[in-house]
């Protein structure tokens, strides 16, 4: 059962309002006396009051499709990635839905999968020059830099990639690159090294307790064309995140080649 708790103090930090003055998160980069750093613990906090009210935590809403609603857009895989999808689908059919994994059960999904994980909420923390997304599932922690920095030349690809963002009115616009090609675009299929993910986060103008994410995935190696996705999250103001320690219940052994085995 989820632990409920007052988030008054955290709400003040997270729930800064939606009108985003573009300078709000970028003032740090304009301060010549203070170079870009890992974090900015002092100063520039007043500017956060101009940002959207994203207080509380957000849970993915399962959208019910009406009889006349179009089906969600599907990825148009190509080349070796299409072959991987077809091989994975065959294995699912041939083994009653049981398929092999090439990673541990406790490997976090990373990007883009972490944004579409049902049941487990997401919390947004606003600090000067950064928006931090804390995802309860696997306790994933994603930083979106809004202080003007770009991906470093020596960036080492990781499962979350490098995210740079800025505010356009009430919308947080994010571009993520540098994602290690071990995460999945869709269940059973990974991506190439040049994946770029563009995101636009904004509150629903008709329901401020819903957050909308419009995501576009571009991969010249894996996709014939950009793949557009849309996520909606419902706000829970009185929830708090709880620990997610996957290894506490990780019972599937892994062989010498790193393949998960079945008991």
Instruction: Answer whether residue 175 shows pLDDT above 90.
Output: yes
> How much is the CA Rg of the chain, to the nearest whole Å?
20
Phi, psi of 85 (to 5 degrees): -60, -45
pLDDT at residue 115, rounded to an integer: 96
Q: Are 55 and 238 in contact (CB under 8 A)?
A: no
Residue 36 pLDDT level (bands cut at 50, 70, 90): low
Between residues 190 and 10, the one the model is more confident about: 190
Section 151-173 average pLDDT: 96
**By mean pLDDT, which of 70-74, 187-191, 198-202 is the weakest?**
70-74
Instruction: Answer whether residue 30 shows pLDDT above 90.
Output: no
Which DSSP string do the residues of the chain spell out, in sequence order? Answer: -PPB---HHHHHHHT--S-B-TTTTTGGGG-TTS---S---SS--GGGGGS----SEEEE--PPPPTTSPPPP---B-HHHHHHHHHHHHHHHHTTT----SS-TT----TTGGGG-SSS-EEEEEETTEEEEEETGGGEEEEEE-SS----TTPPPBSS-EEEEEEEBTEEEEEEE-B-TTSEEETTEE--TT-EEEEEEEEETTEEEEEEEEEEEE-TTTBSS-EEEEEEEEEETTB------GGGG----B-TTSPBP--
**By mean pLDDT, which of 49-58, 171-180, 250-259 is the weakest?**
250-259
The overall average pLDDT reported for the chain is: 84
Between residues 38 and 227, the one the model is more confident about: 227
Instruction: Answer whether residue 114 shows pLDDT above 70.
Output: yes
Q: Are 205 and 101 in contact (CB under 8 A)?
A: no
Nearest to 131 by CA among 207, 61, 54, 204: 54
User: Quick one: CA dihedral 188, 144, 7, 21, positive or negative?
Assistant: negative
Instruction: Answer whether residue 180 shows pLDDT above 80.
Output: yes
| Fold of domain 9-60+73-249 | Lipocalin (2.40.128)
Instruction: Answer whether residue 195 shows pLDDT above 90.
Output: yes
């Amino acid at each position: 059962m989820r632990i409920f708790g007052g988030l008054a103090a955290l709400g003040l930090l997270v729930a800064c309002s939606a009108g985003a003055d573009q300078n709000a998160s970028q003032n740090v980069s304009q301060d010549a006396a203070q170079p870009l750093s890992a974090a900015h613990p002092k100063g520039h906090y007043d500017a956060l009051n101009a940002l959207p009210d994203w207080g509380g935590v957000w849970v993915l809403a399962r959208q019910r499709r009406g009889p006349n609603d179009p089906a969600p857009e599907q990825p148009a895989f190509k080349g070796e990635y299409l072959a991987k999808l077809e091989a994975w689908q065959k294995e699912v059919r041939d083994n009653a839905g049981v398929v092999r994994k090439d990673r541990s059960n406790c490997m976090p999904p990373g990007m883009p999968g972490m944004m579409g994980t049902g049941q487990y909420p997401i919390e947004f923390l606003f600090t000067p020059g950064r928006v931090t997304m804390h995802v309860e599932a696997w306790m994933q922690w994603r930083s979106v830099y809004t202080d003007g920095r770009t991906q470093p030349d020596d960036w080492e690809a990781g499962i979350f990639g490098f995210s740079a963002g800025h505010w356009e009115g009430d919308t947080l616009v994010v571009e993520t690159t540098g994602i290690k090609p071990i995460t999945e675009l869709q269940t059973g299929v990974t991506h190439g090294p040049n994946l770029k993910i563009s995101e636009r986060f904004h509150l629903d103008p008709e329901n401020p307790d819903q957050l909308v994410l419009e995501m576009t995935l571009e991969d010249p190696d894996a996709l014939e064309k950009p793949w557009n996705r849309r996520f909606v999250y419902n706000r829970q103001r009185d929830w708090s995140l709880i620990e997610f320690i996957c290894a506490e219940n990780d019972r599937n052994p892994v062989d010498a080649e790193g393949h998960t085995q079945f008991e």
